[in-house]
């Protein structure tokens, strides 16, 4: 909105056009809440929509969801030139089912067939279903790993990938052309079902997806003891049924589910931040491990695309970072493929530019080419699609990103927590059967390839001024701030210029190094939250030296950013 008066004028319009719980919440808002809820429209980007649940143009509610859906309809009809079909899925979050039905009602009212999941299901299932059903798009209602106040609207293209920047821009242009109350078509859900325009996805598709997950095995006849004691938590999300089903079917039956986090519950009562990246989210599962003496803890986030693990280390348990789990999986998969003559001659490993730099050295050791992508698994999915179009799909070996996302197959174009869980259990059991712990294996990897320390820091910029403040700080970095302290900067990459055949992105990467140490610093605003993210990667001979270098670089970054106002905190991972 252009001014405070515009905010209140739009608020009055919503009072006159909305109903039910949205209207009731509007009536309870004070001036500050009104301004925050109406100062802008919730932005639509490559991640679709994401925001707090509530009334207003800057919130997730049935009106904003319906408008976004009509905009997507208009884009698809203009692009396709006729009737098409879409897949709709949803997770366990508050109002996810309501928003999913809203999406279906808008598409059906526009004469577009909707294939809808009958119940909550992991987000990679939408990517799979789009390709399986040859639909033109997919919509997943989810806010991934965010806290319970959030929900979101994620869009997939016909290739099963999250939409590109260009497509998001064109969809957003269609959305902006619409009035939220006057230009959106809707049909009653039951009437859409009766007309055959809304169809529930049957069990054959779900079984086919799970068959593909089961097929991701790298033993090639090697024996393992599958009776390892596993504690699993779906963090009150979508993972319970598919994860437990597949684990059982491949022979991992000694699995205990964290009871308090078993059932779907969008309030996430025992883990306010249901993110396996956060140690707090893993604490209840760790308490189960300690009581049972379990070997392995695995947790998936609410839409089951991220996976976090903890493993026994002497008398305690150690949480592994995504980079640690990722390099372990990369080394395991490559070594098993090489051992059994399954490694493709032109093997390809995919990772994002903020993911562990050591992974590239490991891939090179096995003769596997590394392709770096922008941050976000959709870019890894796009690369898999490119391999498929070139007839080289079988060259894909593995892909992972630092935010706990992994994929070993080409059946989906997104990270897959069900797949990752099964392969992690297989890898764990393989080494345990041979008397090797994952910690020992990780130390072996560091011994062979060098130690790599990766840290991430998030600076929060809340409120209507947050985006402006982040833009100012990014401008400071682009001016060439001496950020690496005493370490020589060997290269500065500003990805807003569109480097290395990658799409333009608001990311800056400094690479540095000398005889004893090398690494990188990456700065970027989050695409889904009001945060500035800092990634530091240091490769050195040993952990102590790497930590000393990381501290110096991080202090320099903190000195710069903390000179800015409106920063409420920094979080380290």
Tell me which residue of 156, 147, 93, 149 sits closest to 120, measured CA to CA.
93
- Cα torsion through 256, 259, 261, 266, rounded to 10: 140
CA–CA distance, 57 with 7 (Å, rounded to integer)? 9
Token code pair at residue 115: 């294939």
Q: What is the DSSP string of 9-71?
A: HHHHHHHHH--HHHHHHHHT--HHHHHHHHSSPPP-BTTBEEEEBSSSTTSBSHHHHHHHHHH
Beta carbons of 478 and 460 less than 8 angstroms apart: no
Pairing of strands 296-300, 230-233: parallel
Quick one: CA dihedral 368, 513, 450, 443, positive or negative? negative
Q: Is 496 a catalytic residue?
A: no
Tell me which residue of 126, 108, 109, 107 sits closest to 117, measured CA to CA.
126
Which one from 52, 127, 144, 148 is the annotated catalytic residue? 144
Tell me which residue of 342, 377, 60 sits closest to 217, measured CA to CA.
342
Sheet arrangement for strand 369-373: 369-373, 348-352, 396-401, 405-407
**Bridge partners of 524?**
533
Beta strands in 340-404 (DSSP E): 348-352, 369-373, 396-401
Pairing of strands 296-300, 307-313: antiparallel
CA–CA distance, 68 with 35 (Å, rounded to integer)? 21
CA–CA distance, 27 with 455 (Å, rounded to integer)? 44
Helix (H, G, I), strand (E, B) or coil at 286: helix
Helix (H, G, I), strand (E, B) or coil at 429: helix
Catalytic center residues: 144
């Amino acid at each position: 909105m252009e001014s405070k008066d515009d905010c209140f004028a739009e608020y009055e319009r919503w009072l006159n056009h909305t109903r039910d719980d949205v209207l009731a919440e509007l009536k309870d808002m004070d001036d500050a809440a009104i301004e925050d809820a109406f100062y802008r429209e919730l932005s639509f980007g490559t991640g679709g929509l994401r925001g707090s649940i509530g009334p207003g143009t800057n919130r997730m509610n049935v009106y904003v969801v319906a408008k976004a859906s009509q905009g997507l309809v208009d884009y698809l009809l203009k692009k396709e030139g006729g009737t098409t079909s879409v897949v709709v899925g949803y997770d366990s979050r508050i109002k996810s089912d309501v928003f999913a039905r809203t999406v279906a009602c808008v598409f059906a009212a526009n004469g577009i067939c909707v294939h809808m999941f009958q119940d909550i299901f992991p987000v990679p299932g939408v990517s799979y279903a789009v390709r399986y059903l040859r639909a033109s798009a997919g919509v997943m209602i989810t806010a991934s790993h965010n806290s319970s106040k959030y929900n979101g609207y994620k869009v997939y293209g016909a290739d099963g990938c999250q939409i590109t920047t260009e497509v998001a821009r064109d969809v957003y242009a269609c959305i902006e052309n619409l009035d939220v109350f006057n230009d959106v078509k809707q049909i009653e859900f039951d009437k859409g079902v009766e007309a055959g325009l809304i169809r529930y996805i049957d069990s054959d598709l779900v079984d086919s997806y799970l068959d593909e997950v089961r097929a991701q095995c790298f033993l090639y006849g090697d024996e393992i003891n599958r009776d390892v004691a596993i504690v699993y938590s779906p963090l009150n999300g979508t993972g319970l049924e598919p994860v437990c089903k597949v684990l059982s079917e491949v022979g991992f039956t000694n699995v205990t589910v964290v009871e308090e986090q078993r059932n779907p519950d969008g309030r996430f009562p025992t883990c306010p931040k249901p993110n396996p990246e956060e140690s707090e989210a893993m604490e209840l599962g760790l308490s189960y491990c300690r009581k049972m003496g379990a070997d392995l803890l695995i947790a998936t986030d609410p839409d089951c695309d991220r996976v976090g693990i903890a493993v026994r280390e002497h008398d305690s348990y150690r949480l592994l970072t995504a980079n640690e789990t990722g390099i372990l999986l990369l080394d395991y998969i490559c070594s098993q493929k090489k051992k059994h003559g399954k490694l493709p001659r032109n093997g390809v490993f995919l990772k994002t530019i903020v993911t562990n730099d050591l992974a590239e050295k490991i891939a090179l050791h096995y003769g596997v080419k590394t392709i770096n992508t922008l941050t976000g698994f959709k870019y890894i999915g796009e690369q898999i699609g490119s391999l498929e179009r070139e007839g080289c799909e079988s060259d894909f070996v593995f892909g992972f990103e630092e935010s706990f996302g992994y994929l070993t197959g080409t059946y989906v174009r997104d990270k897959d927590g069900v797949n990752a869980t099964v392969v992690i259990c297989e890898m764990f059991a393989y080494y345990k059967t041979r008397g090797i712990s994952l910690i020992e294996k990780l130390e072996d990897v560091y011994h062979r390839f060098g130690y790599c320390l990766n840290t991430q820091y998030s600076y929060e910029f809340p409120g209507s001024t947050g985006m402006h403040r982040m833009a100012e700080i990014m401008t400071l970095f682009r001016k060439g701030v001496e950020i690496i302290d005493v370490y020589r900067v060997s290269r500065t990459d500003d990805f807003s210029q569109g480097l290395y055949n990658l799409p333009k992105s608001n990311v800056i990467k400094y690479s540095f190094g000398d005889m004893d140490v090398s690494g990188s610093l990456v700065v970027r605003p989050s695409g889904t939250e009001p945060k500035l993210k800092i990634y530091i990667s240091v490769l050195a001979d040993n952990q102590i030296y790497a930590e000393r270098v990381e501290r110096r670089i991080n202090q320099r970054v903190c000195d710069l950013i903390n000179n800015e106002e409106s920063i409420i905190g920094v979080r380290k991972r």
